[in-house]
Amino acid sequence: MAAKAEHTGAPSAPPRPPRVGLFVTCLVDFVRPSVGFAGVKLLEDAGCSVEVPKAQTCCGQPAFNSGDRQDTKLIAQQVIRAFRDVDYVVVPSGSCGGMIATHYTELFEDDPDLARDAEDLASRTYELLQFLVDVMGVDAVDANFEGKVTYHDACAGLRELGLKGQARTLLSSVAGLELAELADTEVCCGFGGTFCVKYPEISNQMVDGKAQSVEATGADTLLAGELGCLMNIAGKLQRRGSAVHVRHVAEVLADMTHATPPIGEAAGESPPELEAAAAGKEA
Amino acid sequence: MQPTSHAFKENAAKALDNQQLQRALGNMKQGFIVKRQKAVDRLPEFDQLRDHAKEVKDHALEHLDFYLEQFEDRVNSQGGQVHWAPTAEDARQHVLEICQRRGAGTVTKGKSMVAEELGLNEFLESHEIVPVETDLGEYIIQLRGEPPSHIIAPAVHLNRDQVEADFRKHHLQFPPERALSEARQLVNEARTVLRQRYLDADIGITGANFLIAETGATVIVTNEGNGDLTQCLPRVHVVIASLEKIVPTLEDATTIMRVLARSATGQEQTVYTTFSAGPKRAGDLDGPDEFHVILLDNGRSAMLGSEFQDMLRCIRCGACMNHCPVYHAVGGHAYGWTYPGPMGAVLTPSLIGVNEAGHLPNASTFCGRCQSVCPMHIPLPKMMRHWREREYERHLQPLPARTGLKLWAALARRPGLYQLATRLQAKAMHLVGKRKGRFGWLPLAGGWTRHRDFPAPEGKTFQQLWAERQRDRDAAPAKDQPAE
């Protein structure tokens, strides 16, 4: 917590750039690395030095929410070790961020040493936009996005971390972007991790309702900060034959929408070179 | 009531296909949410009241034995009688004994979820005693032979035209050409039918929202006045309540009332708040000759001291189900027993066993909206997760899911191997899926692809690309490296 105060106090003249460990999340790592690189760019633009510890895989939510406490604890300890040395842990996902920041401490209630470590990690862990706005004091980004977007407040970020205004603050600075708020933006999309495959019919009813709300906004792109929900909603919109595109909010804020087509869409005529963006050649 | 919670999936599938139900659920969704929010917005101290209400109930639960005995003493000293019922069967026998002793033929009932838990109507009928539900919603579902689908709005799964059809079918004493399409007309007709039933009844049974230890009073909150007629007109009043309804003082009860109605229906207070404290005394103008309180345990005391103790704070406002997207999708009957929605997903396995009710705590996305509106700050998702832990420990989940999870966890704990595996899989899926950008079908992922597409991975994993970036940077001059 001391480190937080140090950097929020005078971001203009820090003794050194804050060391941020990016917790990539398993979905971003596997399905959409662009989101991770968008996060890296936003963090570097904000003056952070970004590291990506190799010993990370997943935050443990699938085990935690399936009742497998033992494996969850082992995975949590792995994350705690991997991010021991950084000032902050930043996560481009509210649910993985919420897992680390709010649930890890519950796991070690009977082990004071591990509980202290979990507490320490929790106090340094932020969701990406939360970190940019609340810790680094970023209130505008240098990005262009022509179009009308709508925004889904994914549940864990909203209710475990209290995310709400951060995305709107930053999106309002994107040139060309118009935000049309989504009716029922705080209603779950039906993803729920393993829920969507354990109870597919119920999940389908939920995501169908979400897709209809998205279509009703007249927006051409849906944004959110949670890849699982985005994959769920994108998959439903596409199955419905909808023309609405879906992206992670970080891609728009980092001005990296050119680097990759929207979620679930094929690359256009001039395929963007993700590797080029990844290699940091864009600046 | 015979539970069907084990068949939650089948129940849910039927519910999703039931157009009438879907229409009713569509109508109920917004009403409760908007009204609650308005009520909360009108009361700036609402959150402080929630904290206070929680403290009251936590204190009562910590000293449950003390307050229950205090309550019993007060009831006795006021000429009433408390009957302790460790099990549902004990409670049913207490009711039966009272009914038989009084030679009761008809019993009127105020709305009581505990009576539903006991399957009381069925039980009384099997002993040739006629139970008459007097709450409008309960009356409607009794005509239909259905259990309630919601703890405060028992007939919320029905549409007005369905109720009209039921009344026309059952109320043959009225002219068939009568107008009955408006809510007002339906209410008036039910009222006309029920009025005589109140007068005919030998015994009135109500539930209780609160049992007040310091006064020995039981309290119900209602909106139709049926509870008052149920308990004032017959010669015997029987209150059936579960033991966690106890609060120490009158003030405690009124504190919780301030969050109860707001959370439930968005009212500041219900239309009627009725206190019952014993039979008619000498000099009283009115009141029953006998006053009985049946205190039901039925598994609750076993929750004390467990990770499910917080659930005993529940005041049955229904806010959790009113805000639950799963409840909105399938309605209350799919949950297969008395208590639906998030509170049912925690309480039902406690009361009838996780073997029967194992689906309920799993059928949640953990969106957390229930907890965010719970006036008693019950950590519902956390307790559903505790049930999943119990199921996991007892190997109750399906074997393929369990095995899959174990394999995944073993991989997730070996970052090197994990990264190799994900790299290969991402590449393979990218190659197959890149032309369309997504998959309409994937092996072993039918639950996903039956209803939605799955995006093709971009090709390389983030870890792979990051390693390449670091390598490039190491090879390049150090000028654009971040300072160490």
| Record: contact A36-B385, CB cut-off 8 A | no
**Residue A95's domain is classified under what CATH number?**
3.40.50
B324 contacts in chain A (CB < 8 Å): none
Q: Which residues contact B152 (CB under 8 A, 6 or more apart)?
A: B264, B265, B316, B317, B318
Beta carbons of A199 and B367 less than 8 Å apart:
no
Whether A203 and A234 map to the same domain: the answer is yes
Residues of A in contact with B406 (CB under 8 A): 68, 71
Do both A165 and A111 map to the same domain? Answer: no
Q: What is the mean pLDDT of chain B?
A: 96
CA distance B125 to B148: 18
Q: What is the pLDDT of residue A9?
A: 46
Residue B153: phi, psi to the nearest 5? -130, 80
Q: Is the pLDDT of residue A275 over 50?
A: no
Question: Any CB–CB contact under 8 A between A232 and chain B?
Answer: yes
| Domains of chain A: total | 2
Same domain, A147 and A84: no
Give the C-alpha separation, A207 to A236, whole Å. 7
Q: How confident is the model at residue B479 (pLDDT cuts 50, 70, 90)?
A: low
pLDDT per position as a tens digit, A105-137: 999 999 999 999 999 999 999 999 999 999 999
Chain A CB contacts of B364 under 8 Å are 192, 195
Residue A276, domain member (yes or no): no
Structure-derived torsion over alpha carbons of residues B366, B372, B375, B381, reported in degrees to the nearest 10: 20
In angstroms, what CA-CA distances link B83 with B227, B235, B293, B426?
21, 18, 6, 65
Please, what is the angle between helix B8-17 and helix A200-216, to 10°?
Answer: 40
For B255-297, how does the pLDDT look when each residue is reduced to its tens digit (9 = 90+)? 999 999 999 999 999 999 999 999 999 999 889 999 999 999 9
pLDDT tens digits, one per residue of A155-213: 999 999 999 999 999 999 999 999 999 999 999 999 999 999 999 999 999 999 999 99
A106 shares a domain with A197: no
Domain locations in chain B?
A: 5-303, 414-477
Whether chain A has a CB inside 8 Å of the CB on B468: the answer is yes
Q: Which of A203, A86, A222 is nearest to A148 (CA)?
A: A222
CATH number of residue A150's parent domain: 3.40.50.11810
DSSP string, A247-277: EEHHHHHTT-GGGSPSTT----SS---HHHH
Interchain CB distance below 8 Å, B465 and A197: no
Backbone angles phi and psi of A149, in degrees to 5: -115, 160
Pick the CATH number of B5-303 from 3.30.390.30, 3.40.50.10420, 3.40.50.1010, 3.20.20.140: 3.40.50.10420
pLDDT digits (tens, 9 = 90+) for A57-103: 999 999 999 999 999 999 999 999 999 999 999 999 999 999 999 99
Q: Is residue A279 part of a domain?
A: no
Tell the burial category of A193 from Cβ atoms under 10 Å away from its Cβ (0-12, 13-18, 19+). middle
Query: For a pLDDT cut of 90, what percent of chain B falls above it?
Result: 94
Which pLDDT score, from 0 to 100, does residue B483 have?
A: 45
Residues A113 and A180 in one domain: no
Mean pLDDT calculated for residue range B116-127: 98
Phi, psi of B178 (to 5 degrees): -65, 150
Q: Which residue of B has its CA nearest to A103?
A: B382
Could you say which of A134, A154, A176 is where a domain stops? Answer: A134
**Chain A contact present for B7, CB below 8 A:** no
By DSSP bridging, strand A245-248 and strand B81-85 are unpaired
Residue A10 CA to residue A8 CA, distance in Å, equals 6
Report chain A's C-alpha Rg in angstroms: 18
Q: Do A57 and B411 touch (CB under 8 A)?
A: yes
DSSP state for residue B295 in the 8-state scheme: E
Token readout for B88 is: 């549902």
With a cut of 90, say whether residue B198 has pLDDT above it. Answer: yes
Residue A16 forms contact with B (CB below 8 Å): yes
Which residue, of A134, A160, A175, is where some domain finishes? A134
Q: What are the two backbone dihedrals, phi and then psi, of residue A90, each rounded to the nearest 5 degrees?
A: -120, 135
**A187–B458 C-beta distance less than 8 A:** no
Together in a domain, A143 and A266: yes
Does residue B438 sit at the A interface (CB-CB below 8 Å)? yes
Q: What is the rounded CA–CA span in Å between residue B259 and residue A166? A: 31
- A239: nearest CA partner in chain B: B452
Residues B378, B345: contact at Cβ < 8 Å? no
Same domain, A127 and A146: no
Query: CB–CB of A213/A177 below 8 Å?
Result: no
Residues of chain B positioned with their CB less than 8 A from the CB of A239 = 440, 451-453
Closest CA in chain B for residue A232: B452
Is B350 an interface residue toward A (CB < 8 Å)?
A: no
Tell me the shortest Cα–Cα distance from B133 to chain A, in angstroms: 33
User: Chain A window 116-175: which residues touch B at a Cβ cutoff of 8 Å?
Assistant: 155-156, 159-160
pLDDT at residue A11 in the model: 53
Output the pLDDT for position A14.
53
Q: How high is the mean pLDDT of chain A? A: 92
User: pLDDT confidence of B1, banded at 50, 70, 90?
Assistant: confident
For residues A116 and A227, state if they share a domain. Answer: no
Interface check for A202 against chain B (CB to CB < 8 A): the answer is yes
Residue A224 lies in domain: 138-270
Contact B452 A238 (CB under 8 A): yes
